[in-house]
């Protein structure tokens, strides 16, 4: 075992895998751009209070999953999610007065102190989007449509969309009491966790996986039956748009997201292939959060996609053995090195990807390396070439060789770039 290793729940993304991440990010950025989203980068560390106020003091995330650091007076935490920091930045910079800054996206690491398992790490990555300033149900639908389009572009299938409305400040309190009233006489039959939930956050009982609890909850009142008029209309409208987009979804009256700021629309994308953590991403509406963060009373909508989980769903790496270079330069002895370095410099400045071999190597060894690395061309420089004032170019695919005078390096570069 190495003396040092990555901390529990963190890991390195090594060459060979990182290309996969780059591809996902490239596709995502291009697609988000098409929908008018602009990137925002916020610190990964924020005042602890920010998350307590937004995510909610009684949520698991805040209660036991934050990496919190107390330095003298200040308590700061690594961000466990991305929405609160973005809203904070939005308010701080007054982005509501900046044209085109109401649709934002971020890509980056999040941190939660949990026991790692399949699909769960302490440092994980998310792509998230936020639309701030509109409560139009079309925003909900359009943003969900964008998400599904993104997954389509990435080649992810076999996911299912779960949709719910969790009400708002008008109707949820009433529903909460109705649920409590239903649960109260049944507490003795429910598990210890559900008893705790009854006290802290009754809606969470729907997360319980204990059979007896599920049985008791079968006839429990549903939020959907307690929506106020505005929430009902909003939800119906979102559904109507999704239907028109031809998007399939299932209504899950038990869907409750793990953050307190959600109102009205809440949704998740599930996959069977993720192990016990079957949620690929989650999102919803958060009208009221901007005001809570000290800004104007602006509504908001957003989602966040777990990148590690996404990677698990990506089609098998078609081991695209992308050659690491267009040409390998092979000096055969010490005197040839300078000529080799100069050739490398010229080609690189012309835009060619060049591997310049250092150290003593036989020609056999150079060619073997080019072959192993999948580099299609080798520029040989030995005694003969130095004497002739040029190079020998070998095409590894055909085995053909031809002399290349120093003066024709630039033309060679053009030739290589044309092929690539």
Partner RNA sequence: GUGAGUGUAGCUCAGUCGGUAGAGCUCCUGACUGUGGAUCAGGCGGCCGUGGGUUCGAGCCCCACCACUCACCCCA
Which residues make up the interface to RNA (CB under 7 A)?
1, 5, 7-9, 11, 59-61, 81, 112, 114-121, 124, 126, 193, 197, 204, 207-210, 256-259, 268, 275-282, 304-306, 308-309, 332, 361-365, 367-372, 380, 382-385, 392, 394, 396-397, 399, 401
Query: Which residues, 6+ apart, have CB-to-CB distance to 154 below 8 Å?
Result: 24, 27, 28, 310, 314
Task: Between 12 and 297, name the residue whose CB sits nearer to RNA.
Answer: 12
| Least distance (Å) between residue 99 CB and RNA | 30
Written as one string, the DSSP assignment of 40-71 is ----SEEEHHHHHHHT-TTSHHHHH---EEEE
Cα dihedral 255→261→262→264 (10° resolution): 130
Which residues on neighbouring strands pair with residue 119, listed in sequence order?
Answer: none
Task: Between 9 and 253, name the residue whose CB sits nearer to RNA.
Answer: 9
- What gap in Å lies between CA 324 and CA 320, rounded to an integer? 11
* Among 371, 312, 44, 21, CA closest to 158: 312
Helices 192-200, 172-183: crossing angle, 10 deg rounding: 150
| Least distance (Å) between residue 391 CB and RNA | 9
- What gap in Å lies between CA 373 and CA 322, rounded to an integer? 9
Task: Between 135 and 207, name the residue whose CB sits nearer to RNA.
Answer: 207
Where helices occur in 120-190 by DSSP H, the ranges are 137-154, 172-183
| Least distance (Å) between residue 240 CB and RNA | 26
Say if CB 380 and CB 363 are below 8 A apart.
Answer: yes
Task: Between 227 and 379, name the residue whose CB sits nearer to RNA.
Answer: 379
In the block, tokens 């992810």 appear at 156
| Least distance (Å) between residue 186 CB and RNA | 17
Query: Which residues, 6+ apart, have CB-to-CB distance to 202 below 8 Å?
Result: 176, 179, 180, 183
| Least distance (Å) between residue 102 CB and RNA | 22
- What gap in Å lies between CA 358 and CA 420, rounded to an integer? 25
| Least distance (Å) between residue 272 CB and RNA | 11
Could you say which DSSP state residue 276 is in?
Answer: T
DSSP reduced 3-state for 205: helix
Task: Between 95 and 367, name the residue whose CB sits nearer to RNA.
Answer: 367
Task: Between 8 and 296, name the residue whose CB sits nearer to RNA.
Answer: 8
| Least distance (Å) between residue 161 CB and RNA | 13
| Least distance (Å) between residue 372 CB and RNA | 4
Query: Which residues, 6+ apart, have CB-to-CB distance to 40 below 8 Å?
Result: 86, 89, 104, 105, 106
Backbone angles phi, psi at 106, to 5 degrees: -140, 155
Task: Between 64 and 233, name the residue whose CB sits nearer to RNA.
Answer: 64
Task: Between 95 and 380, name the residue whose CB sits nearer to RNA.
Answer: 380
The distance from CA 183 to its chain's CA centroid, rounded to whole angstroms, is 38
Task: Between 141 and 190, name the residue whose CB sits nearer to RNA.
Answer: 190
């Amino acid at each position: 075992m190495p003396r040092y290793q990555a901390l529990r729940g963190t890991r390195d993304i090594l060459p060979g895998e990182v290309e996969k991440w780059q591809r996902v990010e490239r596709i995502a950025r291009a697609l988000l751009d098409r929908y008018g989203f602009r990137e925002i980068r916020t610190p990964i560390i924020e005042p602890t209070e920010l998350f307590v106020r937004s995510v909610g003091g009684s949520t698991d995330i805040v209660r036991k999953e934050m990496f919190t650091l107390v330095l003298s007076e200040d308590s700061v935490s690594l961000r466990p999610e991305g929405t609160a920091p973005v809203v904070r930045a939005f308010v701080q910079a007054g982005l509501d007065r900046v044209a085109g800054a109401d649709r934002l996206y971020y890509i980056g690491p999040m941190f939660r102190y949990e026991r790692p398992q399949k699909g769960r790490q302490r440092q994980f990555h998310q792509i998230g989007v936020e639309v701030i300033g509109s409560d139009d149900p079309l925003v909900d639908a359009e943003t969900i449509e964008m998400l599904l389009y993104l997954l389509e572009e990435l080649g992810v299938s076999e996911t299912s969309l779960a949709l719910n409305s969790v009400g708002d400040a008008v109707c949820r309190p009433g529903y909460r009491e109705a649920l409590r009233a239903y649960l109260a006489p049944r507490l003795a039959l429910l598990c210890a966790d559900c008893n705790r939930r009854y006290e802290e956050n009754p809606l969470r009982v729907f997360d319980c996986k204990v059979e007896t609890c599920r049985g008791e909850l079968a006839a429990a009142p549903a939020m959907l039956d307690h929506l106020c008029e505005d929430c009902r209309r909003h939800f119906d409208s979102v559904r109507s748009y999704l239907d028109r987009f031809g998007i399939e979804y299932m209504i899950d009256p038990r869907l409750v997201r793990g953050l307190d700021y959600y109102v009205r629309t809440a949704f998740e994308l599930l996959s069977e292939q993720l192990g016990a953590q079957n949620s690929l991403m989650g999102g919803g509406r958060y009208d009221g959060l901007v005001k809570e963060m000290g800004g104007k009373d602006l509504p908001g909508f957003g989602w966040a996609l777990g990148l590690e989980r996404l990677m698990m769903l990506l089609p098998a790496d078609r081991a695209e053995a992308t050659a690491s270079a267009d040409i390998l330069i092979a000096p055969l002895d010490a005197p040839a090195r300078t000529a080799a370095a100069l050739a490398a410099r010229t080609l690189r400045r012309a835009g060619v990807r060049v591997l310049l071999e250092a150290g003593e190597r036989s020609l056999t060894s150079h060619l073997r390396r080019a072959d192993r690395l999948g580099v299609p061309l080798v520029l040989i420089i030995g005694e003969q070439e130095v004497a002739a004032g040029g190079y020998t170019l070998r095409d590894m695919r055909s085995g053909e060789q031809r002399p290349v005078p120093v003066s024709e390096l630039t033309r060679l570069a053009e030739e290589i770039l044309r092929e690539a």
